[in-house]
Amino acid sequence: MELKRLQLERKIIDAADGALTSEEMRQLKAELQDYPDLLSDFHDIMKQPDLSALYGSADEKSNFKNQISNIQHAINQYEFQNKSFEEVSLIWFRKYAIAASIAVLAVTSVFRIESVSEHQTDSEYLISEIFYPNLESEADDYMIYLEELSTQ
């Protein structure tokens, strides 16, 4: 019973979209006689005005899209006309500032990894030193050694 009701609801939607033939519409109306609530919904839906004429045809939509594209192109041309190279560069840099920042960070990270001495080849050690630098250094060891010498 529920399956039949669900099928009828789907047919009502198809009817509202204009996807049913006249024979299918006649059959739908006959089947809806057993479901008075769906029949009422069907009549209410079919009374709705056809709004597709308000949206225009696909050709009109395509034409509007081309017009908008032309306007955007004209604005972009006007925007950069009579501007110096520096002003245009600043406009583009602001648009891509995040990408530029990430690129600079990546390049500087590569130089940091390459500048580590040659005897450190363990990549895990190298990465841990970059993110968690060792707090003790050779200078600290030397200072401890000097203090030990002075106390003897």
Write out the two tokens for 136.
């003790």
pLDDT in tens, 12-69: 888 888 888 999 989 989 998 988 898 888 888 888 876 666 666 666 667 778 888 8
pTM of model > 0.85: no
Token pair 């509007």 is found at 64
Domain boundaries, the chain: 2-52, 94-152
Neighbours of 42 (CB within 10 A): 20
Cα(117)–Cα(49) distance, integer angstroms = 78
Mean local confidence (pLDDT), 69-83: 72
